[in-house]
Amino acid sequence: MKSLWKGFVHFLTSARVAIFLLLFLAIACTIGTLLPQNQTQEVYLKLFGKLGTRIIHIFSLYDVYHAPWFQFLLIFLGINLIACSLDRLPKTLRLFRYQEKRSIDKKFFQNLSFSEHFVCPTSLEKAKQSLISLFKKEFGNLQVINNPKFSLHAQKGKISYFGPYIIHTGILIILFGGLMSSLFGFSGMMFIPEGKASNTIFLQGRRHHQRYNLPFSLKCEKFIIEYYPNGMPKEYLSKVTVIDGEKTIKKDITVNGPLDYKGLRFYQATYGVAPEPTLTLEVINRETNKHFLVTVPFNQSVSLPDSNGYVKLVKAFPEFMNVGIAFQLEVSEDGRIQQTWVFEKFPNFDAMHRKGKYIFRLKDYSRYTGLQVKKDLGVWIIWGGCIILVLGLMISFFIIPQRIWLQLDTHPKGCEIWLGGTCVKRKVLFRQTFENWVSKIKEVLPCGT
Amino acid sequence: MWNIKILSYVTFLYLGCFLLYLGFVAFRKPILQKIATYVTIFTLGVHTIGIVLRWIESHQMGIGHAPLSNLYESLIFFGWCIAFLYLVIEKKYKRPILGAFVMPFAFLTMAYASFSPNVNSRIEPLIPALQSNWLIAHVITCFLAYGAFAVSFGFSIVYLLRPEKGSFWDIFPPKLQLDALIYQTITFGFTLLTVGIITGAVWADKAWGSYWSWDPKETWSLITWFIYATFIHCRLVKGWREKKMAVLSIIGFASVLFTYFGVNFLLSGLHSYATPS
């Protein structure tokens, strides 16, 4: 039993498992991007046949990222991160606290991974002064030993040992935040016609087909699309008013500028023809060629300028037989009642297809704005985790833990300098740092070799 | 459209840089190497002017935005990142003579941007979703990361080609140093890729209301992240070195290329504005 437990712990803490998990997650994600996701049974049958479809269903490959085994991999990665970190932490702490106890002599320097030895024609006292001031600049904790010989010992970058732990903590926090998001967050849509207020959210995701009523409501004053001169859309903008009891707050919601209110976030997501729209029509008298604009609310007769007839919006089609937005009108001119249409894409339809006293052209129609609503406190946990993760990466990769020793000895020609250094990671790059130190010393003290 | 003209000349300048570095490898005249370095610095300068000019021209057109918004502009910036990072490494690590294996990538990205009929080089206004300062942070970090991965890919090729001893290869850094350089550039790229993914998530959260939506581009950047994370763990924990690492670095760069091009051409998603039109 005990050995089984030991084996299990060994399994959890092995780096092999971590590497396997990373690769497996990479493969799973690849499948998720290459295999069409969330398609109907028929699509899979067509593409992969009977056997393929069965395999896809057994492993939930139609929705890889939400498959139980994918979630399991992520949780397993989290457990593995914790286990590996706990397993290695004592070793790191020992490395962190480790102090060299050996006496510093020639043999000590020869055993270091980097060492250099040279003679300078400078007096011992003068050399001491300039060396101390040189090293003080780079190392905060410079140790000066005067007995038995003048030596210096300095180190920096020890925090780098903890870099991986900081990174892994960041990743764990991000995973935790993601879990919080999916457990306690919700997102949904609100559809508010211009001039109307609403507090109903249609939920998405796990609580699909449910509604949620906000304790306050949002009124859409106006929905605006701005265009560039070349016709590309420049901005989608909803002018909204938050109505919370007595309080009202005005705010513009744009694509990159959501509204935050009471822990909820409202995003500009979509728009469309309002369910019972109000039209703005351009009416042209065929005889006098006079233009004027009329506003036509839904299903209300609006009299025409010479009051000899009316126009009425009967029906609105957000998508009419693949030709886009269309409105059905009832027109009465001199007692003659006719049906006609106005289309967004064909402004001249009425002019060409109906011979009446007036021509009707669609100028504008009222829209609804579609706002995505989200409540997700997990986001802040995730951003916190991200900051820790990036800090950890910088600490592990760009801080090199290094130690340097220097000893000064008398020499007939001035003084003799021994310089030695060690670093745990990045030995090849440390060589350069070390060589820099040698040349710096030689600069301060004019030396031979 | 001066910027487009200048940037297409820059393409040929990079070809020149490559030939100079190659000339040094062939003729071993130290002066050639010096000239190559200076010409590369000059080219990068002209390249920078081209990008700044494009920025200014977009403002003159009244649709001012940082030139980091479509495939053309991202390719131009990718080329810039490669040349810039290579020069930094050359300066910092005492001239490892690897330009002959890095400059071709700068040249190829610039050539693809300038001469492919599929890449639209006009300055176009930004659609609403792209109007964010996070766009700049996201694109700069991602492409510096891609640039670092491209440089490490070039180094990995030298690593695999170079025998331990061989008079032809003697002018290149020794294998041990190459190995360290590959690792160094990858850690740099990995850190920036992480920042790039995060800034992308922050931006997506603001613009689309979701910090992560398993969009193909997002997912592929995560796959790349997983591959390089594997690389780093193999090295630090399992003590893998040298050849295996160079091979992993090449696999990683293949994944970068797929994230950049493959996703645009083969998979559709939220990043579709980066597709050639």
pLDDT tens figures, B71-100: 888 899 999 999 999 999 888 876 667 888
> Per-residue pLDDT for A447 more than 70?
no
State whether B217 and B101 are in the same domain: no
Give the pLDDT confidence score for residue B150 in this predicted structure: 92
Cβ atoms B140, B68 nearer than 8 A: yes
> Per-residue pLDDT for A289 more than 90?
no
Task: Provide the sign of the torsion angle of the four alpha carbons B207, B213, B217, B222, taken in this order.
Answer: positive
Domain end, chosen from B124, B153, B180, is at B124
CB-count burial class (<10 Å; 0-12, 13-18, 19+) for B46: middle
pLDDT band at B270 (very low <50, low <70, confident <90, very high): low
pLDDT digits (tens, 9 = 90+) for A103-154: 777 778 888 888 888 888 877 788 888 888 888 888 878 888 877 788 888 8
List the end-to-end C-alpha distance of chain B, in Å, as a whole number: 19
Judged by CB atoms closer than 8 Å, whether chains meet at B238 and A15 is answered as yes
Closest by Cβ to B267, choosing from A33, A258, A432: A33
- B89 backbone dihedrals φ, ψ, rounded to 5°: -65, -40
CATH topology (fold) of A183-273+369-386: Tick-borne Encephalitis virus Glycoprotein; domain 1 (2.60.98)
Closest CA to B182 of B142, B149, B144: B149
Least confident span in A226-230, B36-40, B102-106, B236-240: B236-240
State whether B34 and B77 are in the same domain: yes
Closest by Cβ to A22, choosing from B176, B201, B229: B229
| 3-state DSSP assignment of residue A446 | coil
State whether B97 and B194 are in the same domain: no
pLDDT band at A356 (very low <50, low <70, confident <90, very high): confident
Helix (H) or strand (E) holding A438: helix A427-444
Domain end, chosen from B124, B153, B184, is at B124
Q: What is the mean pLDDT of chain B?
A: 85
> Per-residue pLDDT for A227 more than 70?
yes
Q: How many CA atoms lie within 13 A of A154 on its CB side?
A: 20
Closest CA to A163 of A373, A407, A391: A391
Instruction: Please list, in sequence order, all residues whose beta carbon lies within 8 angstroms of the beta carbon of residue A28, skipping any fewer than 6 positions away.
Output: A64, A70, A73
Question: How far is Cα B55 from Cα B64, in angstroms, rounded to an integer?
Answer: 7
> Per-residue pLDDT for A391 more than 90?
yes
pTM for this one? 0.84
State whether B159 and B225 are in the same domain: yes
Least confident span in A230-234, A391-395, A445-449: A445-449
pLDDT digits (tens, 9 = 90+) for A153-165: 888 888 888 888 9
Question: How far is Cα B57 from Cα B43, in angstroms, rounded to an integer?
Answer: 21
Residue with tokens 């007995």: A147
A374 interaction partners in chain B (CB closer than 8 Å): 209-210
Antiparallel, parallel or unpaired: β A402-411 and A414-423 = antiparallel
Domain end, chosen from B124, B143, B174, is at B124
Range of the domain at B39: 1-124
Q: What is the mean pLDDT of chain A?
A: 84
| 3-state DSSP assignment of residue A242 | strand
Cis bond leading into A148, ω under 30°?
yes
State whether B114 and B172 are in the same domain: no
State whether B152 and B226 are in the same domain: yes
Q: What mean pLDDT comes out for the span A32-48?
A: 81
Cβ atoms A178, A198 nearer than 8 A: no
State whether B11 and B66 are in the same domain: yes
Q: Which of B211, B221, B235 to mutate to test the interface with A (most CBs of A within 10 A)?
A: B211
Least confident span in B141-145, B158-162, B266-270: B266-270
Task: Provide the sign of the torsion angle of the four alpha carbons B121, B122, B127, B131, taken in this order.
Answer: positive
State whether B91 and B137 are in the same domain: no
Q: Where are the domains of chain A?
A: 2-96, 106-157+400-444, 183-273+369-386, 279-365
Give the pLDDT confidence score for residue B96 in this predicted structure: 62
For residue A16 the two structure tokens come to 């092999």
> Per-residue pLDDT for A363 more than 50?
yes
> Per-residue pLDDT for A314 more than 90?
no
> Per-residue pLDDT for A234 more than 50?
yes
Give the pLDDT confidence score for residue A283 in this predicted structure: 85
Give the pLDDT confidence score for residue A100 in this predicted structure: 67
Beta strands, E only, A43-193: 114-120, 143-145, 151-156, 186-193
Cβ atoms A396, A207 nearer than 8 A: no
State whether B106 and B148 are in the same domain: no
> Per-residue pLDDT for A17 more than 50?
yes
Q: Which CATH class is domain A106-157+400-444?
A: alpha beta
Helix (H) or strand (E) holding B56: helix B30-60
B234 interaction partners in chain A (CB closer than 8 Å): 19
List the end-to-end C-alpha distance of chain A, in Å, as a whole number: 65
Report, in angstroms and rounded to the nearest whole number, the Rg of chain B calculated over CA atoms.
Answer: 19
A267 interaction partners in chain B (CB closer than 8 Å): 207-209
Judged by CB atoms closer than 8 Å, whether chains meet at A269 and B93 is answered as no
Q: What mean pLDDT comes out for the span A13-37?
A: 86
Give the pLDDT confidence score for residue B271 in this predicted structure: 55
Question: How far is Cα A321 from Cα A315, in angstroms, rounded to an integer?
Answer: 14
Cβ atoms A404, A395 nearer than 8 A: no
Instruction: Show which of residues 111-170 on chain B sit within 8 Å of chain A, judged by CB atoms.
Output: 124-125, 127-129, 131-132
State whether B8 and B40 are in the same domain: yes
Judged by CB atoms closer than 8 Å, whether chains meet at A233 and B180 is answered as no
Number of domains within chain B: 2
pLDDT band at B277 (very low <50, low <70, confident <90, very high): very low
| 3-state DSSP assignment of residue B1 | coil
Highest mean pLDDT among A100-109, A389-398, B25-34: A389-398
pLDDT digits (tens, 9 = 90+) for B106-147: 999 999 888 888 777 787 777 787 888 888 999 999 999 999
ipTM of the complex: 0.89
pLDDT band at B269 (very low <50, low <70, confident <90, very high): low
Closest CA to B4 of B57, B41, B45: B57
Whether B216 and chain A come into contact, CB under 8 Å, resolves to yes
State whether B181 and B225 are in the same domain: yes
Question: How far is Cα B57 from Cα B50, in angstroms, rounded to an integer?
Answer: 10
- A309 backbone dihedrals φ, ψ, rounded to 5°: 175, -175
pLDDT digits (tens, 9 = 90+) for A265-278: 898 888 888 888 88
Closest CA to A318 of A275, A348, A369: A275
Closest by Cβ to A389, choosing from B125, B129, B194: B194
A63 interaction partners in chain B (CB closer than 8 Å): none
Chain Cα centroid distance, residue A246: 37
State whether B120 and B253 are in the same domain: no
Least confident span in A379-388, A420-429, B54-63, B208-217: A420-429
* Percent over 90 (pLDDT), chain B: 35
